[in-house]
Amino acid sequence: MPLKPRYCSQCGSVMATRPEDGRDRDVCPTCETVFYQNPLPVAASVVLSPAREVLLVKRKRDPFKGMWCLPIGFAELDETIESAALRELREEAGLTGRVLRLLDADSYQSDFYGDLLIVTFEVENVGGMERPGDDAEAVAYFPLDALPPLAFSSNRKAVRACAAAHADQWLIQDSFQRLTDGQPDGLLSDALVTLIRDRAEEISHLWIEDIRQNPSTRSYRDIPLPDLSRGAAVALSQVGLWLAGEQSNREIRRFFMNLGATRAASGTPLHELLSTLTLLKMEIWTFARQNGVWESTVDLYRVLELNRRLGSFFDLAIYYAARGFAGNDSQARRV
C-alpha cells in the first residue's frame, strides 16, 4: 500500500485523520491542509503485428516479476496520458508508436501501489526494433487467442476490446482473401447464397414476370409459362450450385452452351437470350439486396461480395450461351 503522510508537508505538524467530504482523510490539524489520496494514473499500449498478434513484455521487477503484460507504466507530471503510453512503449519495448484509439479505462486495486487508473490505447508501431528495456526481461508477440497469464486483469480486458474493435475489419479481410484465392468456402456472402437457394422460387417468379414484360425479351412472351418456370428453376439452380462451389466451370460451360444452342434452334434472337441472363442477374442482386440485413459494415461488404461473385458467374454464363448460340446443338453437347 502507498505510504501515508506522517507530517504535514506545509508546516511540519503531525498529521491527523478526520472525516472530510464524506470519508476519512489525512488532514493537518494546524494549517488545515487536506491531503487527498487519488488513484495513480497508468498508461498501457496494445500493439498488434500484421499477423494479428499482440506485443507483450516480460516483467523484470515486482510486482508480478516474471509475468507477461502490455507495455505499461506510470504517467509523469507534465505529460498527457497518451504521451505516457508512447513513452512506456519506447522504454519497455523499443518501439515508436502512434496512438490510434482509446481501448479501455479500468480501476485496479494493487497491493503494491494502491489504487490505479489504467488507461489503455491501441498504438500503431511506426518505428524502432522490439527489444526489452530496463524493466523487461523479454519482448514477444502472442496470438490473441493464446495469451499467457497476464499480470493485470485490465490488460486482458483491453486486448479483448482491441480484438472486438477489429472484428468486422478482419472478417472482411479474411473473406476477401478467400474470394481472391478462389476458395469457395467460408465467404461472408455465403449467407446470401443460402438465401438465394432457399427462396429460388420467389426469384424465379420475379424473373419470369420481368422477361415476359421487358421489351428486350419480346420472344419470351410466346414461350408457355410452364416451360419458362422449368427453365428458370434450372438456371437458378446452376447459379446456386456454382456459388456454393458444387458446380465446376466445365459443367457451367456445358449447360449454357446447350442453352444457347437450344435458343438458336428455337429462333430466339441472341440479344434476347443475353438479356434474359442479364435480367436474372439483376433479379438475384435486387432480391439479395432487399432481403439482406443492413446493420454493419460486414453486411454492406457481404452484399458487395455477392455482386462480385454473381458477376463472375454471369460472365461465364453469357460467354458460353453466346458460343452455344453461334454453334449448333450437337457441337454444344460434346463440350
- 302-326 residue pLDDT tens: 999 999 999 999 999 999 999 999 9
Residue 259 CA to residue 35 CA, distance in Å, equals: 88
Q: Are 116 and 39 spatial neighbours (Cβ–Cβ below 8 Å)?
A: yes
Q: Which CATH class is domain 40-167?
A: alpha beta
Residue 330: pLDDT above 70?
no
Residue of 24, 25, 29 whose CA lies nearest to 7: 29
What average pLDDT does the segment 112-131 reach?
95
Provide the 10 A C-beta neighbour count for residue 46: 26
Residue 5 CA to residue 96 CA, distance in Å, equals: 38
Grid cell locating 238: 446452376
- Which amino acid belongs to residue 142? F
Residue 266: pLDDT above 50?
yes
Enter the CATH code of domain 1-37: 2.20.70
230-238: long-range pairs with CB below 8 Å, 24+: 232/204, 232/207, 232/208, 232/280, 233/200, 233/201, 233/204, 235/259, 235/280, 236/196, 236/200, 236/203, 236/204, 236/207, 236/280, 236/284, 237/200, 238/317
CA angle 297, 122, 111 (to 5 degrees): 130
Strand-strand pairing, 72-74 and 136-143: unpaired
Rg (CA), the chain: 33
Residue 334: pLDDT above 70?
no
Mean pLDDT of the chain, nearest integer: 92
Residue 184 CA to residue 166 CA, distance in Å, equals: 24
Q: Where are the chain's structural domains? A: 1-37, 40-167, 190-333
Higher pLDDT, 37 or 53: 53
Enter the CATH code of domain 190-333: 1.10.490.70
Beta pairing partners, 110: 114
Can you tell me which residue has the cell 508501431? 125
Contacts of 310 (CB under 8 A, 6+ apart): 239, 243, 281, 284, 285
Residue 200 CA to residue 206 CA, distance in Å, equals: 10
What average pLDDT does the segment 254-276 reach?
94
Q: Are 228 and 206 spatial neighbours (Cβ–Cβ below 8 Å)?
A: no
Model confidence at 249, pLDDT cuts 50, 70, 90, reads: very high
Q: Are 236 and 208 spatial neighbours (Cβ–Cβ below 8 Å)?
A: no
Residue of 115, 122, 132 whose CA lies nearest to 161: 122
Q: Is the peptide bond before 215 cis (omega within 30 degrees of 0)?
A: no
Lowest mean pLDDT among 50-59, 93-102, 195-204, 284-293: 284-293
Model confidence at 331, pLDDT cuts 50, 70, 90, reads: very low
Residue 177 CA to residue 193 CA, distance in Å, equals: 18
Residue 335: pLDDT above 50?
no
Model-wide pTM > 0.75: yes
Residue 7: pLDDT above 80?
yes
pLDDT of residue 38: 87
What average pLDDT does the segment 112-119 reach?
92
- Which amino acid belongs to residue 104? D
- 86-99 residue pLDDT tens: 999 999 999 999 99
